[in-house]
Amino acid sequence: AWGQGIEEGMTMSGEFEFTMQASEKDCFGEMLSWHMLAAGVAPQSLDNRCLKFTDASGTEAMGSKQEIGKLLANPSSYPVRVSYFPHPAFKFVRPEAVPEVESTRTHLKFVQDAVAELDGNMDNVKHTHQRRTFERYLLYLEDHYYQTGDDLHDAMNWEDFLQRYPHLEFFFLLTKKTGPGLSKILRGEIDVLEYLFGG
């Protein structure tokens, strides 16, 4: 029957955690590979910044090859807990796709802030055509929350995004002006064309 024969421990959850004893240190690569496979994490999508090593005393090493190597080389570190809990927005995302996901999150943060400033109430939107847009904004946000579990609390603002990814400035040619003023545009306090191109 469909689904039979799946090995126990195969979660496909995109995250994992396991404990490694000192006697298993030489098998670390195999242990990591198995847990990645069980969690559905492809090698090319593993974000090594999220791979955390915690020693027996609770000291953590994360994102630093030197610190992790030092922790694993110390016999008193064991047992070591290895955990991988990536940011929900970046589960199963390959490194080369991260900038595009970051851009989407930044744009959605503009929308989220505008919705909050209007109390999530369509009656606060002045024009009929913008009310339809506002309704779509609500759907975009709900879909994002549902699909990723990401509440956007740590989404980059557009200035920080451009500092990190200056070659992607074209993503924000219009929204760097309209994004911060979106709530005023929706309230009818600013004409969007004047806002973009001047009076």
Phi, psi dihedrals of residue 64, rounded to the nearest 5° = -130, 115
| Pairing relationship of beta strands 60-62 and 16-20 according to DSSP bridges | unpaired
Distances (CA, A) of 196 to 52, 95, 169, 188: 45, 33, 17, 14
pLDDT band at 195 (very low <50, low <70, confident <90, very high): low
pLDDT above 60: residue 199: no
Closest CA to 183 of 119, 105, 103, 102: 119
Rounded to 5°, angle at Cα 26 from 21 and 29? 100
Q: Please check whether residue 80 is in contact with residue 55, taking contact to mean a CB–CB distance below 8 angstroms.
A: yes
Q: Which residues in 27-186 belong to E strands, given as ranges? A: 51-54, 60-62, 80-84
* Tally of CA atoms within 13 A in the half-sphere of 100 that contains its CB: 5
Question: What local confidence, expressed as pLDDT, does residue 198 receive?
Answer: 65
| C-alpha of 193 from chain center | 33
pLDDT tens for each residue of 63-107: 899 999 999 999 999 999 999 999 989 888 888 888 999 999 999
User: What is the C-alpha separation between 147 and 153, in angstroms, rounded?
Assistant: 16
Residue type, 109: K
pLDDT above 60: residue 5: no
Q: Over the range 30-63, which residues count as b (16 or more CB within 10 Å of their CB) and which as e? A: eebeebbbbbbbeeebbbeebbbbbbeeeeebee
**Could you give the percent of the chain with pLDDT greater than 70?**
93
pLDDT tens for each residue of 151-172: 999 999 999 999 999 999 998 8
Joined together, the tokens standing for residue 21 give 């004893």
